Amino acid sequence: MRIFSYNVNGIRAAISKGFLQWLETTSPDVICLQEIKATQDQIPLMEIEMLGYHHYWFPAKKKGYSGVAILSKQVPDNVVYGMNHSEYDDEGRFLRADFGELSIVSVYHPSGTSGEERQDFKMEWLDFFRCYVNELRKTRPNLVISGDYNICHEAIDIHDPIRNAKSSGFLPEERQWFTDFLNDGFTDSFRELVKEPNHYSWWSYRANAKQNNKGWRIDYHILTDNLNERLQNVGILPEVNFSDHCPIIVELNY
């Protein structure tokens, strides 16, 4: 099973740049999208269906903001929209699809870059998310939680850890949260197989950051530890340029 995740920073903009042609060529079994920034009536659903995908959308209530989606070649047994928490669900941040015993989540963690209020919101979300997922795994023990976490976990995951030590997305409390979350029994699938530096999934549009590979790895496929033995391959596709993020891949023997 090939699972992709991609923060498209606006699905309509990505489609205008060739996203659907790329999707047809790469043909993942499942792709989790974040920051769709659109409602279903604004998306060419028939074109997606013609590529062989079933599609599930969870937009934010605010127009042109946030939102997640899951496209899959197989029909899920069950789809759950949100986490039953209106403040977070209004922002369209969590969508789950169940395929037999396997559950795949598309998640978009808040950013705290706009100021203290949103940083506080982010930290509250992280605590709720951690509790929610740990409760969820009691009934859905095989989880792939894919998406934009808006956190670089380790110094190896960011191009300049010293200058960014006080930046949202690399704050000590965010990194500690990530460590604690993984210690609950989760695996960063990419780092399970790839130990080398200079692998990033997001680059600023400023100062030729991508051309100079001055990026951040903030997109993850997080697995429950019991799936580690099924982990076959991982990847990051920086050559794909429909967004300021790029797609990430995990392959499971499932």
* 24 SS3 class: helix
Respond yes or no: is residue 188 known to be catalytic: no
Q: For residue 218, what are its two tokens?
A: 């903030």
User: Could you tell me whether strands 2-7 and 30-34 are parallel, antiparallel, or unpaired per DSSP bridges?
Assistant: parallel
H or E segment to which residue 136 belongs: helix 116-136
Residue 58 corresponds to which amino acid?
F
CB of 10 closer than 8 Å to CB of 248: no
Q: Which of 29, 98, 127, 148 is flagged as catalytic? A: 148
Question: What CA–CA distance (Å, rounded) separates 168 from 217?
Answer: 13
Q: For residue 162, what are its two tokens?
A: 């010293």
Question: What CA–CA distance (Å, rounded) separates 88 from 132?
Answer: 12
Residues 6+ apart with CB under 8 A from 157: 199, 200, 216, 217, 218
Catalytic positions are: 148
